[in-house]
Chain A
Amino acid sequence: MSSRALSEPNLLARAAGTLARPMLFGRRNQREAFERQAEKVFPAIVGTALRLTRSREEAEDLAMEAMVRAYEAFDRFDGSNFKAWMLRIVTNLYINRYRQRQRGPQLGSLDEEGMMEPVGLSEEIPDRILFDNMVGSEVERALAQVPDDFRTAVILSDIEEMSYQEIADATQVPIGTVRSRIARGRSILRRLLADFAMKEGIIKQGASE
């Protein structure tokens, strides 16, 4: 072997050739694998971010940050449910980044555990009639008015179809709290929609099926 072959620059180049290239290809493969899955769920991530933050600008920041976090942690993804994993990241980020800015108790959070309403005793406005006359934007507007904790649970359950356990993991609360937040969130939403429908004359109080 010539002395040139063993010179320091050549050794470095050979080391780079044997070590850096597989690392490069490994990362490229990882990127492709990540993008294949991320592109499919990206609209859901952005939609959830929008519904959580209620601001286009904050939602874009949140979605972008979630993508970066997910990509950096992709080698730790267990391969089971990518969408649920991404939604957990975006929800966690939202809770940590945005909600900590808020001071004081959340509207509706004070009575979270003592909020049971007796079945069938609320105003009997048939929801089928109510919802048949609503358009998507009205439902979305009402959803935006639901207090944070309840809105988050309802979004993850009813729009993203996550299980209670997945929602509990994403929001870092016990499963019993998820159950009550979903029930309470839907109840608030229903009331908001009923108020809207009555104001707009879509339904009259005491209407029946």
Chain B
Amino acid sequence: MIDRNDLHALADNELSSEEQASLLRELESDANARVEYQNIVAMKTALKQSSTSPECGELWNRCQARLNELDKTKRVESFVGR
């Protein structure tokens, strides 16, 4: 029986070329595993496609302001000689 984790690793391109070739040979004679593999790939695709980037312009501005404060503190410290 094919290890389910190996099918996921195959879909993630995480197997060595030897492991990949061996698993693909096994898949040729295992219809259930082929369906399972296709399902894993479909799941990965759905996840990637469903993920949208959040709006974060305002947060980026706040981060920059925070980094400005950090820089200012470092400048003061370097002048004071701490």
A164–B4 touching, CB < 8 Å: no
Instruction: Decide if B35 touches A183 in the complex (CB within 8 Å).
Output: no
Chain A residues contacting B49 (CB-CB under 8 Å) are: 136
**Who on chain B is nearest to A154 by CB?**
B47
Closest to B8 in A: A183
Residues in A whose Cβ lies below 8 Å from that of B75: 24, 27
Shortest distance from the beta carbon of A161 to any chain B beta carbon, whole Å: 8
On chain B, the number of residues with a Cβ less than 8 Å from chain A's Cβ atoms is 46
Task: Give the secondary structure class of A's interface.
Answer: helix
Chain B contacts of A124 at CB under 8 A? 35
Digit string of A176-209 for contact with B (CB within 8 Å is 1, else 0)? Answer: 0001101100100110000000000000000000
Interface residues in A95-148 (C-beta closer than 8 Å to B) = 116-121, 124, 126-128, 130-131, 134-140, 143
* Contact between B56 and A119, CB atoms less than 8 A apart: no
Contact residue range for chain A?
Answer: 35 or more
Interface residues of A (CB under 8 A from B): 16, 20, 23-24, 27, 31, 34-35, 38-39, 42-44, 46-47, 50, 60, 63-64, 67-68, 71-72, 116-121, 124, 126-128, 130-131, 134-140, 143, 154, 157-159, 161, 163-164, 179-180, 182-183, 186, 189-190
User: What is the chain A residue whose CB lies nearest that of B2?
Assistant: A119
B16 close to chain A: CB less than 8 A: no
